[in-house]
Amino acid sequence: MAPRLPSLLDPPIGFAHRGARAHAPDNTLEAFALAVRLGATGLETDAWLTADGEVVLDHDGVVRTGIRRRRIGDLRRDQLPAHVPTLGELYEAVGPSVSLSVDVKDGAAASAIISVAREAGADRGRLYLCSDSWEGASAWRRLDDDVRLVHSTRLRRMTDGPERHAATLAEAGIDAVNMPYPDWTGGLTTLFHRFGLWSFGWDANHERQLRELLAMGMDAVYSDHVDRMVDALRSVAG
């Protein structure tokens, strides 16, 4: 077996995708708390702003109220289904020290997310704000010097090539690049590391995929299956 490439983050972070999604309803306090109990070192979620300015956690940003489906941004917090938590409730449930990867679905939510994290006493060095727009993510640096900025993308979208893209991200103050499992190679993690960028891999739901990503020197992995992820992380510990 080829030796494991070094990661910049040691140990790598294990983000539970939408909480322990394979074990409980996703983006619920139940799923997040279970993920932590199972050994996840990070949580992943998706954030939206309600009409009254609350940061809430849901993947699609659309909820059913009666027979209608309505946008979260059009509703007050008290109009949402009970299972949709706020970011503040998440911090209350799992504590402020957990690493948190937030897919910022509504760019206007970034400032509110950081404010909630501050109020919770969270270490913003453990708060990772993710966007499919590196330009949008770069603009969030003015909101907080410590928050981590992540560009979520695909290899095919790097039209100028990965090396030029890595240089662009580094120049823009982005901390990490996040791509799905099939896009990663050891050569790419080494390339992004050369520019001081962390390499994050998502959509890794099988033990083989998780172990392959970690062998490439990945700095964080995302998985629905927290038990498999924790086992894979333990296998490379030390």
Residue 126: which pLDDT band, with cuts at 50, 70 and 90? very high
Q: How confident is the model at residue 238 (pLDDT cuts 50, 70, 90)?
A: low
* Least confidently predicted of 62-71, 107-116, 131-140: 62-71
Closest-CA residue to 45 (of 12, 70, 21, 75):
21
Q: Which residue's structure tokens are 């799923």? A: 31
- Please compute the mean of the pLDDT values over residues 116-136 and round it to a whole number: 97
Write the CA distances from 198 to 52, 76, 195, 224, integer angstroms: 35, 37, 9, 21
Percentage of the residues of the chain whose pLDDT score is greater than 70:
99
Helix (H) or strand (E) holding 115: helix 109-120
Residue 104 three-state SS: strand
Per-residue pLDDT at 26: 95
Q: Which of 128, 124, 123, 114 is nearest to 198 (CA)?
A: 128
Q: What digits encode the pLDDT tens for the residues 140-159? A: 999 999 999 999 999 999 99
For range 122-138, the mean pLDDT: 97
Query: Mean of the per-residue pLDDT values for the chain?
Result: 96
- Cα 62 from Cα 141, distance rounded (Å): 28
87-94 vs 29-38: helix axis angle to the nearest 10? 30
Task: Judge whether 226 and 22 are in contact, CB under 8 Å.
Answer: yes
Instruction: Please provide the distance, in angstroms rounded to a whole number, between the alpha carbons at the two ends of the chain.
Output: 17
| Residue with token string 């209608």 | 68
Asked if the model's pLDDT at residue 1 lies above 60, the reply is no
In this prediction, residue 215 has a pLDDT band, given cuts at 50, 70 and 90, of very high
- pLDDT, position 118: 97
Task: Check residue 236 and give its pLDDT.
Answer: 87
Phi and psi torsions of 166, nearest 5°: -60, -45
Mapped onto helix, strand or coil, the DSSP state of residue 237 is coil
The whole-number pLDDT of residue 94 equals 97
Cis peptide bond upstream of 3, omega within 30: no
pLDDT digits (tens, 9 = 90+) for 21-80: 999 999 999 999 999 999 999 999 999 999 999 999 999 999 987 778 999 999 999 999
Answer whether residue 6 shows pLDDT above 60.
yes
Contact 149, 127 (CB under 8 A): no
Architecture of domain 13-48+84-236: Alpha-Beta Barrel (3.20)
CA 217 – CA 186 distance, rounded (Å): 7
Tokens representing 205 are 């739901």
Identify which of 28, 45, 46 has the alpha carbon closest to the alpha carbon of residue 83.
Answer: 28
